[in-house]
Chains A and B, each alone.
Chain A
Amino acid sequence: HVPPRTEKMAVDQDWSSVYPTAAAFKPASVPLPIRMGYPVKRGVPPPKEGNLELIKIPNFLHLTPPAIKKHCAALKDFCTEWPSALDSDEKCEKHFPIEIETVDYISSGTSIRNPKARVVTLRVKLSNLNLDDHAKKKLIKLVGERYCKDTDMLTITTDRCPLRRQNYDYGIHLLTVLYHESWKTEMWESEKSEEDMEEYIWENSRSQNNALDTLLQIKASENDSNVTKEDLLASEVVKNYRSSVIALKNEGETEKNMSQYKESVKKLLNIQALP
């Protein structure tokens, strides 16, 4: 029977001619000893010959680095040069904080139009926008899922207009509207309750009231009644307690947080351990 093509392949052959385009996985054309699949008991994963699992999955054998280099070389004639002043990511971000993404689609067919080409994605970091604390919180609430907290990136994807230029204009308009609205304060915003708060604020919370009540009672029992609330708030133990409660509520509970809270409560209530 005819041996597979892999046995005749040289090590330094031109791979982009074996897989010039996206194609299914052909085990006789790929000289790699790949195994894929769930092994039977006391066995190994099945080999590549006739392996449906390898054929089903998408493969990127047509996009190896030398192939990409060839694509770039071919496209270079249609491109302009990258500006030499923008050689680092920080400089790019500093001068061009908003990033616009559009995708062009080519296919061989009767028409060059592709409805997916009208999608426009705007990405911007909120640290580049001039927002104060209230404006930032309001913007994040308005925008909802489009904001990623880890990377501080707001992503707006628009495709409601038929043309790409219209979608781009709409995206810019959305950004402007969001910015201006988040700076305005409405009348009903004063009814913001504790559940709406994004982070825990200790001032005027029940925890503060409890702590102050306890301390006042302690002082009263020791006949030291000239201590006022402001003095208590400014004292070291209360500040310690405050920071540990805020850490607990905002960051969740870890061993470290709990032990810190325990120490601060012991100092606050003056608990001594007598062995």
Chain B
Amino acid sequence: LQLDHGCALHTAAKHCFSPMVSQDVQTPAETPRAVFYTSEKDPAKHTEQHEGQHYHIPLEEVKAVFPHGLPRRFQQQIKTFNEACLMVRKPALELFSYLRGTNFAHPAVRYVIYGEKGTGKTMTLCHVVHYCSRQGWLVLHIPDAHLWVKNCKELLPSSYNRERLDQPLQASFWLRNFKASNEHFLQEIKTQRRYMWGKRESTEEGRPLGEVVEQGLARVRVASDAVGVVLKELKQQSDLGSFRLLVAVDGVNALWGRTTLKKEDKSPVSPEELTLVYNLRKLMVNNWKGGAIVTTLSQTGSLFKPSSAYLPQELLGNEGFDALDPFVPIPVPNYSPKEFESCYRYYLDRKWLQHEK
């Protein structure tokens, strides 16, 4: 890995310069790359002719748009190659065509991306998130809903509603990343009513939403309620049409399954008793307008589901299916021969695959 890193930096330096200097001019060094690499950086302009090709996302944009969204292997790949290259594939293009044609006066349409393990559902979701953030939508990205239903060290009884349970750590982590990705929106959107945090602190009506987020980050105990307030405000205000809301949830089947968490008396916690899950479920219902909901199903983090399950009904269960119905299912297949060739050419070019065999 050490040798590779050195090699990759060298080639990365060379290639980083060439796309910036020669925008669309094909230099002799770049012509072999045209098969699997497109210099079109804006996802909005990706069409079927770009299918199978990788496009480059500048690293600053990666930090801004996906502070926590990319799968771990891809993050490692970015670190190794020192650049982020995403492949344009048909399911993503299909989603773009639907999103372009959405009627924002109608209730939000739900899209569920499903497919077998490792076919690229999370990457498709990230592609869609990049597209929407470029188009100026407000992106509400929950990287993996499974993180909210398992491995939680601290469960506090909720201050707002006695029966529910809070998760301060997960909530504050998510708030931090949400702030990083949507700074400018948080200053523009104003709260519509007064919120009380505990006995003394409160946020008045008409203050920017950024203050609610600050409150959640500063006082970790009320972080989950802050998340709930953010979600509620965004839902109400996207109805008014001042901005477009994209709700992107990865691993949405976690919201309707079982959890591995236990209360203090060792009784199992069901998902609706968690504040975060409860509020997110309210967002999933399509009684708001002015945006879209794109979700993926994921077996990898899911609990109590067999590893061969990938179809929507198996992973969502009856309850989840009924809650999300009617949705548009989008299957993501494995790489086609063309895409596979493009992928290994890219790795060859990056000197990741050392031997030609």
Residues of A participating in the B interface, judged by any CB pair closer than 8 Å = 205-207, 210-211, 213-214, 217-218, 221-222, 241, 245, 248-249, 252-253, 255, 258, 261-262, 265-266, 268-275
Bound: A34/B94 CA distance, A: 60
Pick from B99-107, B249-257, B297-305 the stretch touching chain A: B99-107
Contacts A207-B326, A210-B325, A258-B329 given; does A269 touch B287 at CB 8 Å: no
Question: Is A265 within 8 A of B101, CB to CB?
Answer: no
Contact with A along B304-348 (1 / 0, CB 8 A): 000000011110000000110111111100000000000000000
Chain B interface bracket (under 10, 10 to 19, 20 to 34, 35 or more): 20 to 34
Give which listed residue, B97, B103, B312, contacts A253 with CB less than 8 A.
B312
Contacts A217-B107, A218-B106, A273-B97 given; does A241 touch B328 at CB 8 Å: no
- List 5 A-B residue pairs with CB atoms under 8 Å apart, sorted by A's residue number: A248-B313, A252-B313, A272-B98, A274-B97, A275-B100
B327 proximity list for chain A (CB < 8 A)? 265
Question: Is B322 within 8 A of A210, CB to CB?
Answer: yes
Contact with A along B247-273 (1 / 0, CB 8 A): 000000000000000000000000000
State which residues 58-113 of B face A: CB under 8 Å: 94, 97-98, 100-103, 105-107, 109
State which residues 257-297 of B face A: CB under 8 Å: 286-287, 289
Bound: A148/B327 CA distance, A: 36
Within the complex, the shortest CB–CB distance from A41 to chain B, in Å, comes to: 29
Contacts A214-B286, A217-B287 given; does A265 touch B105 at CB 8 Å: no
Question: Is B107 within 8 A of A218, CB to CB?
Answer: yes
Mostly, the A contact residues are helix
Contacts A221-B289, A272-B101, A273-B97 given; does A262 touch B329 at CB 8 Å: yes
Question: Is A275 within 8 A of B97, CB to CB?
Answer: yes
A206 proximity list for chain B (CB < 8 A)? 322-323, 325
Query: Looking across the interface, which residue of chain A has its beta carbon closest to that of B312?
Result: A253
B107 proximity list for chain A (CB < 8 A)? 214, 217-218
Question: Is B106 within 8 A of A253, CB to CB?
Answer: no
Bound: A268/B312 CA distance, A: 19
Residues of B participating in the A interface, judged by any CB pair closer than 8 Å = 47-48, 94, 97-98, 100-103, 105-107, 109, 286-287, 289, 311-314, 322-323, 325-331
Question: Is B326 within 8 A of A258, CB to CB?
Answer: no
Within the complex, the shortest CB–CB distance from B184 to chain A, in Å, comes to: 27
Sorted from nearest, which 9 A-B pairs have the closest CB atoms? Answer: A272-B101, A273-B97, A206-B322, A274-B101, A274-B100, A253-B311, A221-B105, A265-B326, A207-B325
Question: Is A207 within 8 A of B106, CB to CB?
Answer: no
Pick the most buried of B101, B105, B107: most chain A CB atoms within 10 A of its CB: B107
B322 proximity list for chain A (CB < 8 A)? 205-207, 210
B287 proximity list for chain A (CB < 8 A)? 213, 217
Bound: A253/B115 CA distance, A: 13
Query: Looking across the interface, which residue of chain B has its beta carbon closest to that of A249?
Result: B313
Question: Is B109 within 8 A of A271, CB to CB?
Answer: yes
Give which listed residue, B97, B326, B330, contacts A210 with CB less than 8 A.
B326
Question: Is A262 within 8 A of B326, CB to CB?
Answer: no
Bound: A269/B107 CA distance, A: 9
Bound: A275/B325 CA distance, A: 26
Contacts A214-B107, A253-B312 given; does A266 touch B101 at CB 8 Å: no
Bound: A218/B94 CA distance, A: 23
B286 proximity list for chain A (CB < 8 A)? 214
Beyond the given A222-B105, A268-B326, A269-B328, could you list 13 further A-B residue pairs with CB under 8 A, ordered by the A residue number? A206-B322, A211-B326, A214-B326, A217-B106, A217-B287, A218-B107, A245-B325, A258-B311, A272-B101, A273-B97, A275-B47, A275-B48, A275-B97
Question: Is B329 within 8 A of A271, CB to CB?
Answer: no
Question: Is A270 within 8 A of B313, CB to CB?
Answer: no
Bound: A213/B325 CA distance, A: 11
